[in-house]
Structure 1
Amino acid sequence: MKLKIQFCLLGLFCLMLSTAFSEPAQKHPVNGSWMFTSDNETWLLMAADGYCMVTHYDQAGKKFFKTFGGFLSLENDKLKLQYRFHSGDQGKTGTTAVFTWEPNGKNAESDLSGSRGTWVRVGEADSEMTGIWRITQRKEGANMREIRLAPRRTLKFLTNDRFQWAAINVETGEFSGTGGGTYTFKDGTYAETIHFFSRDSSRVGMTLEFKDRMEGSNWVHTGLSSKGDPIYEVWSKTSKNEQ
C-alpha cells in the first residue's frame, strides 16, 4: 500500500513539474501597443523583443510631429531607452534616456511624451507577425536584388494589429522617413490603413491591400505602393545587430 502511495505521489510531482515547465513565459509588461492622447494629438508606443518605436502625430489633422525608437528595458518602474534613431534630433542616436513607467491596472503612468500622462494599452504583441522586420530582397524588373545589411536600413515593426516602418541610419542618426497605422492579415490578404506618414500627409486614411505569404522566417510582400508602383519585397525577422 505504501509503495502504491509513493508511486502516486511521484506521478503527481512529475505532472506538476511538467506543467510548470510547459506554461508560457510571462509577458513582458511593456510589450504591445500603447496610446497617450492629448486633445487631437496621439502618442503611440509599440514595444516587443526589447525594442520600441514611439510616434507623435495628429491623425485627424494629418500631421506628423516626430518619431524615435531603439532598445528598451524596464526596471523598477523606469523605462530605459537606448536611441537608434530620433527624427527630431539625430544627435540622440546612441545615447540613453530614462522615463517613468508605472503600471496602473491595464494602463501605465509615464512621462514618455515629455509630460506625465496615462498610457492605455490598445494592442498585444504575441502573434506570428510581431517583431522587427528588415527588407532583405526587392524585385527590380525581372530580377531579385539582395539588400545587404548596412548602417542605413529600413525596418518594419509589427505588433498584433499595428505597424510602423522607419528608414534610418543607426551610425549617423540620419532619419529618412516613416509611416504607420493599423493592419490586418487574413487568408493571404495583408491590408494597411495609414494613420501617419512623414513624407506625404495626403496618404493618411488610405487603406492598401497586398497579397502576402510567409515562407519560413521570411515574409513575401506583393502589391502596389501608395504611389501605385508595383511591389515585390521580402522581409526577414531581425537579430539585435540588424535593428
Structure 2
Amino acid sequence: MNFSKKNHEYKNKNRSVVSKKITVIFVCAFLSLGLNAQSFIGAWESYHTSENGDKLKSIVIFSEGYQVISTYDSITGKFISTEGGTWKLSGDTMTETAEFDSMHPERVGTEVSFQVFLNDSIMGIVGWDRKFKRIDNGEPGKLNGAWLMSGRVKDGQTQMNDTSRPRKTMKILSGTRFQWIAYNTETKQFMGTGGGTYTTTNSEYTENIEFFSRDDSRVGASLKFEFDLVDGNWHHSGLSSKGDPIYEIWSKRE
C-alpha cells in the first residue's frame, strides 16, 4: 500500500472537513454580526386595520436602551395604546422589560424575550405577520435619545427632581419622531402620553402632535419652543399645549 498517498488523501479530507466547519462558523457569525451591525435605533411605522375597519398606525421608537410602541387612528389621531421600557439584543433575541403599558398595567416589571429580524428598512418579530418600515435611523435630530423630566424653572428659581423615583415623565426621540409618557413603575399607573414629529432648527424645537391620550382636539397642533443643551441637560421653554408658560429641564437616561 502507498502510505504516503493515503496520508496525503487523509490530510486533504481532514482539511476539507475543517474548512467546511470554519465556513459554517464564519457564516453564522456573519449573520449574527449583520443583525447587530444594522441598528434598531430610530423610528419605525406599521399600518393595519382594526376589527371595526379603522385604519391604525403603530410607531416604534428605539433609543439606546429604551423603546416605546404606540398605536393610534391614522386618520383622526385617536389614541389606542402605548407600552415600552428597556430593551437589549443578544444575537437575534430581543429582551424587553416593561416600564409602562396603558392597556395591560399588570405587565409592568415583567420581562419578555422574542426572536427578531432586521434589514436596513424592514424589521419585525419572527412569527408575527406585521412588519415595520424604517422612518429614520436616529438622524438628523439633535435630541434623539431617552430623557427624563428632571426639573423646572419657576419664578426664576430652579427646582430639580430625583429621576430615580417611581413617578416618571419620559420623552423619547428618534431623528424625526417624539413621544412623552407619564407613568409610575411602582403603582404601574399610566397617566398620559402624546407624540408625533419634531424638528430642531438652530435653538428652536417644534413638535407636531399626531396623538394625545388626554385630548384628541390637540391633534394637528404645532408647538414651538426654545431649547438649549446645558451641561448635557435639555432646557426647554415656551408655551404648553394649554397655552401656559413652561420651562422644563430634561436629563438623558443612562
Tell me the TM-score normalised to structure 1 length.
Answer: 0.81
User: Which has more radius of gyration?
Assistant: 2
- 2:44 corresponds to which residue? 34
**Superposed displacement of residue 111, structure 1:** 6.6
Counterpart contact for 1:62–1:202, Cα < 8 Å: no
Q: Distance in 2 between matches of 1:169 and 1:111?
A: 31
Corresponding residue to 2:75 among 40, 54, 60: 60
Cα distance per residue 1:10-49 (max 9 Å; x no partner): xxxxxxxxxxxxxxxx755211111111142111110021
Corresponding residue to 1:158 among 173, 183, 196: 173
Counterpart contact for 1:163–1:183, Cα < 8 Å: yes
Amino acid at match of 1:121: R
Amino acid at match of 1:137: G
Q: Distance in 1 between matches of 2:222 and 2:59?
A: 19
- 2:150 corresponds to which residue? 136
Percent of residue pairs bearing the same amino acid type:
36
How large is the Cα RMSD of the aligned pairs? 1.9
* Residues 69-80 of structure 1 mapped to structure 2, 5 A cutoff: 69-80=84-95
- 2:162 corresponds to which residue? 148
Counterpart contact for 1:70–1:81, Cα < 8 Å: yes
Structure 2 SS opposite 1:202:
helix
Q: Distance in 1 between matches of 2:216 and 2:111?
A: 30
Amino acid at match of 1:152: R
1:116 aligns with 2:126: no
**Superposed displacement of residue 226, structure 1:** 0.5
Q: Distance in 2 between matches of 1:65 and 1:230?
A: 29
Q: How many residues align?
A: 212
Q: Are the structure 2 counterparts of residues 213 and 27 from structure 1 closer, same or farther at C-alpha, using a change threshold of 3 Å?
A: farther
Amino acid at match of 2:159: R
Gaps of 5+ in 1: 1-25
Q: Are the structure 2 counterparts of residues 79 and 165 from structure 1 closer, same or farther at C-alpha, using a change threshold of 3 Å?
A: same
Counterpart contact for 1:35–1:43, Cα < 8 Å: yes
Amino acid at match of 1:69: G
